[in-house]
Amino acid sequence: MKTLIGKVLKYNIKNLNTDLIIPARYLTKSDPNYLAEHCMEDLDSEFNKKKEKYNATILVADSNFGCGSSREQAPIALKAAGIKCVIAPSFARIFFRNAINIGLTILEFKEINALNTGDALEINFKDGIVKNLTSNRKYKVKKMPLFLQEIISAEGLLNFARNKILKK
């Protein structure tokens, strides 16, 4: 899995639930771009604008990110909105699974106080290192096991499984 370099958009919010990520009223369509348009809109109607303003691809939030319903559309919406990685001290379990399964990188990182909107980060998943290029500080995170990196590199669990079946 490649090292990711990107900028941060941060919401200092705990329990940011899947209804805030993508409201249920938009679940009638499954087109990722449509979902992306409405991503986070009940939390912050300026989400897409801010994301562009800061050129942000890394979303940072507080603990228990993605709690609530098990809708897979939540990570799909974030990914389609151009988010490459979500960082939070903890994730709701099903969101965690869904994110990996659709190929959205997520990172458990306790010290979100060290990250601010606009900061540039360099994340090395292989070695488990987060560098804040703006504040020039370095942090260690748990290394991602190889097969999880493979799943994300394959853009999700389905392709990962297909690759395995094709190799058989």
Residue 148 in the binding site for another protein (CB under 8 A): yes
DSSP, residue by residue, 106-150: EEE-S-GGG--TT-EEEEETTTTEEEETTTTEEEE-PPPPHHHHH
Rounded to the nearest whole angstrom, what is the least distance from the CB of residue 32 to another protein in the complex?
15
Question: Applying CB under 8 A, which part among 3-11, 54-62, 78-86, 145-153 lies near another protein?
Answer: 145-153
Instruction: List the x/- string, 87-106, binding to another protein by CB under 8 A.
Output: ---x-xxx-xxx-xxx----
Question: Closest CB to another protein among 133 and 146?
Answer: 146
Strand partners, 132: 121, 137
With respect to another protein, which residue has the nearer C-beta, 5 or 148?
A: 148
Taking CB under 8 A as the rule, does residue 153 contact another protein? no
- Judging by beta carbons within 10 Å of its beta carbon (0-12, 13-18, 19+), is residue 167 exposed, middle or buried? exposed
